[in-house]
Amino acid sequence: MKRYTLIGGKLGHSLSPQIHERLFALRGREAEYTLTELSDDSLTLGIEELRKLNGFNVTIPHKLRVMNFMKELDRTAGLYGAVNCVDCRDGELTGYNTDCDGFLESVRSMGAKLSGDVLLVGCGGVGRMIAIAAALEGASLTVQVIEPDIPVAQSVKSEILTHRPDAQVDIVLADGVHKPHYDLLVNATPVGMFPNVDACPVSDELIAVSDAVFDVIYNPLETQLIKKARALGKPAENGMAMLVRQAVSAHKIWDGDEYTDEEVRAIIDEVSGLI
C-alpha cells in the first residue's frame, strides 16, 4: 500500500484526507493518506521519515522551507516560490506547486475569461500566486489593495514583470479608479471568512460590472461576495473547487491519474457537505 500525508502546523480541520482518499478510490488504488503536524523547528527532523513515503502535500508554515530538502524543483515551484506537493522516488524528493493549477482549472470550469480584464482583491499569500498565474495567462490585471499593502502589490508587480515584461498590471485602492468592466473578479483576502460572514471585500458596483466571480474562501461556502454574484446570475465559485483541483493535480504527478470534470465536481460537492 502506498503512503501519503499532509504536513503542516495545525491540521485539525483539514479536509485533505477525505479528498485524496476519494481520488484514490476512484482509480482503485490502495493508499493511505494521513495528517502530520510538524512545528517549524521539527521539519528537519521529520524529513527523513517523509522520504519513506510515496509523496506528501505541504501547507503552512512549511511551503518555503521544505524547498531546501528537494533534489529537484519543478518549474511551478520555482515560478511561485513555494512547494505544496512532493513526489518521493527512492527517497529523492521533487517539489511542485499545484495551488495555481487548482485556481486555473476552477476558473476554466466556470467558463470565465482569464485572458481578459481581471480584478484581484489582495495579493498576499495565495493572492500573489494568483496574480502571477493570471498575468502569465495574458490577463490585464488590476490589483486592489488597502494602502498599507501597496508595497506588497508593487513587489508582486515587479515579480510578474520579470516573468512577462509585457504584462499589464495596475494597482488601485478600494476607492480608486476602476475599469468599467471586468471579465473576472477574484477575492484573495480573508474578508467574508467565518466568523465575519457578513463582510464583503468589494462594492456591489464592482460585482455588477464583473462577468464572473471566484472567492478563495470556502468557509462559508457561500460568502456575501458569492451570494451577491449569484443573485445577479453570474457564475461564481468558492475556494473548495481550488482545494480539490489542486489535489487532482497532485494525483497526476504521483500516479499519472486523470479525472473527468464530472468526477471532480462530485468530490467538490461531497466535501462541501462536510463544512
Could you give the CA distance from residue 272 to residue 237 in angstroms, rounded to a whole number? Answer: 12
Distance CA 168, CA 135 (A): 7
CA-CA-CA-CA dihedral for 106, 112, 118, 122, to nearest 10: -30
Any catalytic annotation for residue 52?
Answer: no
Q: Which residue has the cell 485524496?
A: 20
Residue type, 186: V
Of the candidates 261, 231, 230, which has an alpha carbon nearest to the alpha carbon of residue 248?
261
Task: Give the three cell numbers for residue 173.
Answer: 485602492
Of the residues 2, 10, 52, 63, which is catalytic? 63
Q: How far apart are CA 237 and CA 217, in angstroms?
A: 10
Q: Which residues are catalytic?
A: 63
